[in-house]
Structure 1
Amino acid sequence: MAPRRPPPPDDTAAGLRSGAVARLAGMPVATLRIWEQRHQAVKPATAPSGHRRYSPADVQRVLLLRQLTSQGHAISAIAAMPSPELQRLAQPAPGGSRRAAAPHLAVVGAALAARLQRPAVARQLMPSVPPLAVYPSLQQALQASQDATLLLWHAPTLPLTLPPEVAALGQARGARRLAVVYRYASAAATQALSDAGVATLREPADDPALGRWLAALLASLPANDTEPAGPTPDAAASAPAARRYDDATLTRIAGLSPTLACECPRHVAELLMQLSSFEAYSASCAHRDTADARLHAYLQQVAGASRALFESALERLARHEGLPLP
């Protein structure tokens, strides 16, 4: 009787594969690989089969990193930290609170959710991919209890008005933004949803375009209800006053400047004409989506606030140089 051969080595006991770890952390496998290969955030062992194997300590480190990136920390800034330091960073400061969590993304549509986890999409969302909740239908999403900062609905066609299920879902999940990825729709339908504040995107053929759109949409979201999504002008700049000097007056002042010892009035007059032109351009610029419209409204406010400041500067210069102003 031939002796029994020992069973082949079973490397499953050596740890978990990357797919299982990614599911535990609620993140795409592609993101986990980027953390490992690009940032060296975790260094799992390699089994005889060639697969990466994550030990319990490795898994705990991934979960810590995932928690911290969800709180707003960039993976590039924390990848090299020792695990004990990561644990201290994850704890709330005495008498304080944790940093506001990154946006949670609720996706209605399994096909779109699967596409969002492709490497080409995930790369556009780095350094961190938002926590993802997936629902096959609007009805099932309504029955869930998990909140979401951004609600993304995958629709074959768009109706002329926002379906009541989508509006109810946004309210039930506490979503601060609604977005729709669609395949077919009329211009009237997309305009109606845009007027309702819903971001829309016709389903693109390539993953990078989808990732870029979603990344821009997530970047436009505030981290919490009180923190603005980006720098905003002060209260005085939010509604800049009307122009005090038209282009004819500014052109006349710019032409007078060579007769003066100081050329600052000419420079300020030229800046005012440029700022006024950019202010008008930002107000009339075509918008690709709601986030783009908000950006151009912000640019218009900044240009208007800057114009008002330079108008005051021109008035002061005019008094100093004895220039006539209307």
Structure 2
Amino acid sequence: MPLPHLPELYEQRAQYRSGVAARLAGLPVETLRVWERRYALSDTGRSERGQRLYSDLQVRRLRLIKQLVDQGHPIGALAQLPLEQLARMTAGPVAGAPAQPLRVALMGAALARRLSAGGRELLALDIVANFQQLELAPAAVAGSGAQLVLIEMSELDDSVAPAICALRQQLDIAVVVLYRFCASATIRQLRTQGCLVARAPADPAEIVLLCQSALAHEPQAQLTAVRQAAPAARRFDDQALTALSAASSSIYCECPRHLSEILLMLNSFERYSQQCAARDANDELLHQQLANAAGSARVLLEEALERLARAEALPLPAGV
């Protein structure tokens, strides 16, 4: 029996715990655990302590599933599909096909040495520009054809965050920032501006996956999509919902009252999330997504409540 090629062996044997695999795939680890529990998403190995271990190929598969779920595909329909079919659905590269290396502009002498000694990583990353100071980045990147800027700073503090954010806006390409020590507020600031920020991994293969993930998932584009997809305006204000809740109905299960009370809570949570998004720029994307989720649920329940109110001849507010 012929032996697999070394890259194939590496992709099958490289093992990451759930937290690392989720981060590389762009998923919250809680979401990955729910998907595994409900849909048996991956045939993973186990560590001596019983923890799930993911291979390089399995992480790639998770990233494709995340991308398709973001596009609106239900997770239940994707969970058992093979990697090749997922790649075709995303118009991405098929596993095993030769992939073009990512063109990277690099800052960090230690990181450059690690990557140059990595062997396999050189096949996945093409270092087209190298600079040692942030102010030199625009000149280094100009004309290089770089798809991504990779920055390593051992001690990442808030004094350099504005310069990195300005670089991200000026170059308008993906930025990955690796650190060893950093305040959480600085991390949030950089992520708000669309940078992928992560603790510097020990395995150079994880750096490759982080770069791939940064190109596949642009937070800034997600923020624009969220703003464009805001739900419709409210059809029932709190006064109308209170009136419907108190109205008599022939439905013994008291559905109008229950629906009205649920909508009152959704309205309140939607307003609360919008206030959080306006108050804290660092968490704007997260809270805007929460507000939109509550608004989408509200729209569906408002339609149900209107149908129910008309069927039961209950009072509806003017304009509905």
- Please indicate the TM-score interval, normalised by the length of the shorter structure: 0.3 to 0.5
- So what's the TM-score if we normalise by structure 2? 0.47
Point out the structure with the larger helix share. 2
- So what's the TM-score if we normalise by structure 1? 0.46
Which has more radius of gyration? 1
